[in-house]
Protein backbone atom coordinates (compact mmCIF):
# COMPACT_ATOMS: atom_id res chain seq x y z
CA UNK A 1 0.00 0.00 0.00
CA UNK A 2 1.31 3.45 -0.89
CA UNK A 3 2.52 5.43 2.11
CA UNK A 4 0.74 8.68 2.88
CA UNK A 5 3.99 10.28 4.04
CA UNK A 6 7.48 9.21 2.99
CA UNK A 7 9.97 10.00 5.75
CA UNK A 8 13.67 9.46 6.23
CA UNK A 9 13.28 10.16 9.93
CA UNK A 10 13.19 7.23 12.36
CA UNK A 11 9.61 6.57 13.50
CA UNK A 12 8.76 5.73 17.11
CA UNK A 13 5.53 4.39 18.58
CA UNK A 14 4.89 5.42 22.19
CA UNK A 15 1.89 4.11 24.11
CA UNK A 16 0.18 6.53 26.48
CA UNK A 17 2.10 9.54 25.21
CA UNK A 18 -0.32 12.37 25.94
CA UNK A 19 0.64 13.27 29.50
CA UNK A 20 3.10 12.66 32.34
CA UNK A 21 5.98 10.32 31.59
CA UNK A 22 4.60 9.47 28.15
CA UNK A 23 4.55 13.16 27.23
CA UNK A 24 8.16 13.54 28.40
CA UNK A 25 9.23 10.53 26.33
CA UNK A 26 7.48 11.87 23.22
CA UNK A 27 9.11 15.27 23.73
CA UNK A 28 12.57 13.72 24.20
CA UNK A 29 12.31 11.59 21.09
CA UNK A 30 11.10 14.49 18.96
CA UNK A 31 13.96 16.59 20.33
CA UNK A 32 16.31 13.99 18.86
CA UNK A 33 14.64 14.16 15.46
CA UNK A 34 12.24 11.22 15.54
CA UNK A 35 8.71 11.17 14.20
CA UNK A 36 6.40 9.96 16.98
CA UNK A 37 3.03 8.23 16.78
CA UNK A 38 1.20 7.87 20.06
CA UNK A 39 -2.23 7.19 21.50
CA UNK A 40 -4.27 7.56 24.67
CA UNK A 41 -7.92 7.48 25.66
CA UNK A 42 -8.43 11.23 25.60
CA UNK A 43 -6.84 14.40 24.30
CA UNK A 44 -4.73 16.68 26.46
CA UNK A 45 -3.42 20.22 25.95
CA UNK A 46 -0.09 18.66 24.92
CA UNK A 47 -1.77 16.76 22.10
CA UNK A 48 -3.63 19.86 20.93
CA UNK A 49 -0.41 21.88 20.98
CA UNK A 50 1.58 19.34 18.98
CA UNK A 51 -1.24 18.76 16.50
CA UNK A 52 -1.62 22.49 15.88
CA UNK A 53 2.12 22.81 15.27
CA UNK A 54 2.09 19.86 12.83
CA UNK A 55 -1.36 19.65 11.21
CA UNK A 56 -0.22 17.21 8.52
CA UNK A 57 1.20 14.82 11.15
CA UNK A 58 4.64 14.71 9.58
CA UNK A 59 6.37 14.63 12.99
CA UNK A 60 3.59 13.90 15.48
CA UNK A 61 0.50 11.73 15.22
CA UNK A 62 -2.02 10.99 17.96
CA UNK A 63 -5.10 8.79 18.03
CA UNK A 64 -7.72 8.10 20.66
CA UNK A 65 -8.07 4.44 21.51
CA UNK A 66 -8.48 2.04 24.41
CA UNK A 67 -5.15 0.40 25.15
CA UNK A 68 -6.95 -2.69 26.40
CA UNK A 69 -8.34 -3.34 22.90
CA UNK A 70 -5.92 -5.71 21.13
CA UNK A 71 -7.52 -5.18 17.72
CA UNK A 72 -7.30 -1.41 18.08
CA UNK A 73 -3.60 -1.69 18.98
CA UNK A 74 -2.91 -3.81 15.90
CA UNK A 75 -4.84 -1.34 13.76
CA UNK A 76 -2.85 1.56 15.17
CA UNK A 77 0.46 -0.11 14.29
CA UNK A 78 -0.77 -0.93 10.79
CA UNK A 79 -1.80 2.69 10.35
CA UNK A 80 1.66 3.92 11.35
CA UNK A 81 3.29 1.56 8.83
CA UNK A 82 0.91 2.62 6.08
CA UNK A 83 1.45 6.30 6.81
CA UNK A 84 5.19 6.43 7.39
CA UNK A 85 6.40 3.19 5.85
CA UNK A 86 8.44 2.16 8.89
CA UNK A 87 8.58 1.63 12.64
CA UNK A 88 12.03 1.96 14.16
CA UNK A 89 11.28 2.20 17.87
CA UNK A 90 8.59 1.22 20.35
CA UNK A 91 8.15 2.41 23.93
CA UNK A 92 5.59 0.47 25.95
CA UNK A 93 4.80 3.15 28.50
CA UNK A 94 1.04 2.90 29.10
CA UNK A 95 0.04 1.64 32.54
CA UNK A 96 -2.55 1.94 35.25
CA UNK A 97 -2.02 1.64 38.99
CA UNK A 98 -4.56 0.03 41.26
CA UNK A 99 -3.34 -0.07 44.83
CA UNK A 100 -4.83 -1.98 47.73
CA UNK A 101 -4.54 -5.32 49.45
CA UNK A 102 -4.97 -8.27 47.10
CA UNK A 103 -7.71 -9.82 49.27
CA UNK A 104 -9.78 -6.65 48.88
CA UNK A 105 -9.34 -6.10 45.13
CA UNK A 106 -12.25 -6.59 42.76
CA UNK A 107 -11.89 -9.00 39.83
CA UNK A 108 -12.45 -6.15 37.38
CA UNK A 109 -9.58 -4.12 38.85
CA UNK A 110 -7.22 -7.07 38.61
CA UNK A 111 -8.18 -7.79 35.00
CA UNK A 112 -7.84 -4.13 34.05
CA UNK A 113 -4.29 -3.88 35.40
CA UNK A 114 -3.18 -7.08 33.72
CA UNK A 115 -4.75 -5.95 30.45
CA UNK A 116 -3.42 -2.38 30.45
CA UNK A 117 0.03 -3.01 31.93
CA UNK A 118 0.98 -6.32 30.37
CA UNK A 119 -1.32 -7.59 27.62
CA UNK A 120 -1.35 -4.23 25.83
CA UNK A 121 2.47 -4.26 25.67
CA UNK A 122 2.47 -7.80 24.30
CA UNK A 123 -0.10 -7.09 21.60
CA UNK A 124 1.42 -3.76 20.57
CA UNK A 125 4.90 -5.26 20.45
CA UNK A 126 3.69 -8.11 18.24
CA UNK A 127 2.09 -5.61 15.87
CA UNK A 128 5.14 -3.32 15.69
CA UNK A 129 7.51 -6.23 15.13
CA UNK A 130 5.73 -6.86 11.84
CA UNK A 131 7.30 -3.59 10.71
CA UNK A 132 10.69 -4.05 12.35
CA UNK A 133 11.43 -7.61 11.22
CA UNK A 134 11.39 -6.88 7.46
CA UNK A 135 13.69 -3.89 8.11
CA UNK A 136 16.16 -6.01 10.04
CA UNK A 137 16.39 -3.34 12.73
CA UNK A 138 14.51 -1.80 15.62
CA UNK A 139 14.61 -1.04 19.31
CA UNK A 140 11.99 -1.66 21.99
CA UNK A 141 11.93 -0.23 25.51
CA UNK A 142 9.45 -1.50 28.07
CA UNK A 143 8.65 0.72 31.05
CA UNK A 144 8.66 -1.47 34.15
CA UNK A 145 9.00 -0.27 37.76
CA UNK A 146 11.21 -0.70 40.79
CA UNK A 147 8.13 -2.36 42.27
CA UNK A 148 9.03 -5.26 39.99
CA UNK A 149 12.46 -5.45 41.63
CA UNK A 150 11.48 -4.90 45.27
CA UNK A 151 8.38 -5.82 47.24
CA UNK A 152 6.03 -3.10 48.47
CA UNK A 153 2.72 -3.46 50.26
CA UNK A 154 -0.49 -2.77 48.38
CA UNK A 155 0.79 -3.00 44.80
CA UNK A 156 0.97 -6.76 44.25
CA UNK A 157 -0.90 -6.85 40.92
CA UNK A 158 0.86 -3.76 39.56
CA UNK A 159 4.19 -5.27 40.61
CA UNK A 160 3.32 -8.60 39.00
CA UNK A 161 2.53 -6.96 35.66
CA UNK A 162 5.71 -4.90 35.76
CA UNK A 163 7.81 -7.95 36.66
CA UNK A 164 6.25 -9.77 33.72
CA UNK A 165 7.49 -6.98 31.43
CA UNK A 166 11.03 -7.74 32.57
CA UNK A 167 10.52 -11.40 31.64
CA UNK A 168 9.10 -10.33 28.28
CA UNK A 169 12.12 -8.07 27.72
CA UNK A 170 14.71 -10.74 28.39
CA UNK A 171 13.07 -13.53 26.40
CA UNK A 172 12.07 -11.35 23.45
CA UNK A 173 15.60 -9.91 23.23
CA UNK A 174 16.88 -13.44 22.62
CA UNK A 175 14.10 -14.15 20.14
CA UNK A 176 14.52 -11.08 17.91
CA UNK A 177 18.19 -10.24 18.47
CA UNK A 178 19.31 -12.23 15.42
CA UNK A 179 17.00 -10.01 13.34
CA UNK A 180 18.83 -6.88 14.53
CA UNK A 181 16.18 -5.81 17.05
CA UNK A 182 17.12 -4.83 20.59
CA UNK A 183 14.79 -5.06 23.60
CA UNK A 184 15.50 -3.35 26.92
CA UNK A 185 13.65 -2.19 30.00
CA UNK A 186 13.62 0.92 32.19
CA UNK A 187 12.45 0.52 35.80
CA UNK A 188 11.63 3.95 37.23
CA UNK A 189 11.68 4.61 40.95
CA UNK A 190 9.60 7.27 42.65
CA UNK A 191 9.21 10.34 40.46
CA UNK A 192 6.91 13.35 40.34
CA UNK A 193 3.77 12.22 38.53
CA UNK A 194 0.00 11.84 38.86
CA UNK A 195 0.66 8.63 40.80
CA UNK A 196 2.73 10.47 43.44
CA UNK A 197 0.72 13.70 43.44
CA UNK A 198 -1.26 12.53 46.47
CA UNK A 199 1.87 11.93 48.55
CA UNK A 200 2.19 14.10 51.64
CA UNK A 201 5.27 16.22 52.25
CA UNK A 202 6.34 13.71 54.89
CA UNK A 203 6.04 10.82 52.45
CA UNK A 204 8.13 12.68 49.90
CA UNK A 205 10.72 13.53 52.54
CA UNK A 206 10.87 9.87 53.62
CA UNK A 207 11.50 8.75 50.05
CA UNK A 208 14.21 11.40 49.62
CA UNK A 209 15.93 10.24 52.81
CA UNK A 210 16.02 6.67 51.47
CA UNK A 211 17.41 7.82 48.12
CA UNK A 212 21.19 8.40 47.93
CA UNK A 213 20.65 11.28 45.48
CA UNK A 214 18.22 12.82 48.02
CA UNK A 215 15.31 13.61 45.73
CA UNK A 216 12.47 12.11 43.76
CA UNK A 217 13.08 11.61 40.09
CA UNK A 218 11.59 13.63 37.25
CA UNK A 219 9.94 12.47 34.06
CA UNK A 220 12.89 13.97 32.21
CA UNK A 221 15.30 11.69 34.12
CA UNK A 222 13.41 8.67 32.87
CA UNK A 223 12.82 9.95 29.33
CA UNK A 224 16.56 10.47 28.86
CA UNK A 225 17.23 6.87 29.92
CA UNK A 226 14.65 5.70 27.39
CA UNK A 227 16.31 7.73 24.65
CA UNK A 228 19.71 6.29 25.54
CA UNK A 229 18.40 2.74 25.12
CA UNK A 230 16.84 3.63 21.76
CA UNK A 231 19.84 5.57 20.49
CA UNK A 232 22.83 4.33 18.44
CA UNK A 233 25.01 4.84 21.54
CA UNK A 234 23.44 1.69 23.02
CA UNK A 235 23.69 -0.42 19.86
CA UNK A 236 25.31 -3.35 21.72
CA UNK A 237 22.92 -3.29 24.68
CA UNK A 238 19.95 -5.64 24.80
CA UNK A 239 18.02 -7.73 27.36
CA UNK A 240 18.93 -5.26 30.10
CA UNK A 241 16.96 -3.58 32.89
CA UNK A 242 18.06 -0.10 33.97
CA UNK A 243 16.66 1.13 37.29
CA UNK A 244 16.25 4.90 37.21
CA UNK A 245 15.62 5.38 40.92
CA UNK A 246 18.46 7.46 42.36
CA UNK A 247 19.69 4.37 44.20
CA UNK A 248 16.50 4.09 46.25
CA UNK A 249 16.84 1.71 49.20
CA UNK A 250 13.50 -0.04 49.41
Q: What is the pLDDT of residues 27-43, one digit of tens each?
A: 999 999 999 999 999 99
Task: Say how many domains are in the chain.
Answer: 1
Mean pLDDT computed over 78-104: 91
pTM value > 0.85: yes
**Bridge partners (DSSP) listed for residue 183:** 140
Establish if 2 belongs to a structural domain: no
The answer to the question of residue 220 being in a domain is yes
Residue 5 lies in a domain: no
For residue 2, pLDDT over 60 is answered with no
Across the range 73-99, mean pLDDT stands at 94
The answer to whether residue 250 is domain-embedded is: no
Q: CA 220 to CA 223: how far, in whole Å?
A: 5
Lowest mean pLDDT among 143-147, 163-167, 195-199: 195-199
The string of pLDDT tens digits covering residues 61-75 is 999 999 999 999 999
pLDDT digits (tens, 9 = 90+) for 195-230: 666 677 888 888 888 889 998 899 999 999 999 999
161: left (phi over 0), alpha (psi -120 to 50) or beta: alpha
DSSP state of 117: I
Q: Which of 39, 62, 158, 190 is catalytic?
A: 158
Asked if residue 136 is part of any domain, the answer here is: yes
CATH of the domain at 23: 3.40.50.720
Q: Which pLDDT does position 6 carry in this prediction? A: 59
Which pLDDT value is given to residue 195?
A: 65
Q: How confident is the model at residue 7 (pLDDT cuts 50, 70, 90)?
A: low
- Asked, for residue 51, whether it belongs to a domain, the answer is yes
158 catalytic? Reply is: yes
pLDDT of residue 192: 76
Is residue 137 pLDDT above 80, yes or no? yes
The contacts of residue 173 (CB under 8 Å, 6+ apart) are: 182, 183, 184, 238, 239
Is the confidence at residue 177, as pLDDT, over 50?
A: yes
| 248 inside domain | no
Containing structural domain, residue 142: 11-243
Q: How confident is the model at residue 118 (pLDDT cuts 50, 70, 90)?
A: very high
Contact 123, 117 (CB under 8 A): no
122 pLDDT more than 50? yes
State the pLDDT at residue 230.
Answer: 98
Amino acid sequence: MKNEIQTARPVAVVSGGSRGLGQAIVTELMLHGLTVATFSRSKTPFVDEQTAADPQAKRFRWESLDGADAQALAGFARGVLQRYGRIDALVNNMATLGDGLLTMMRDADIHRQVSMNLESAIFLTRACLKGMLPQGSGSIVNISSVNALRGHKGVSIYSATKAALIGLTKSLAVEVGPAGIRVNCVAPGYFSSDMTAAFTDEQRARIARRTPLKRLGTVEDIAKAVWFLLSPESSFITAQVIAVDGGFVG
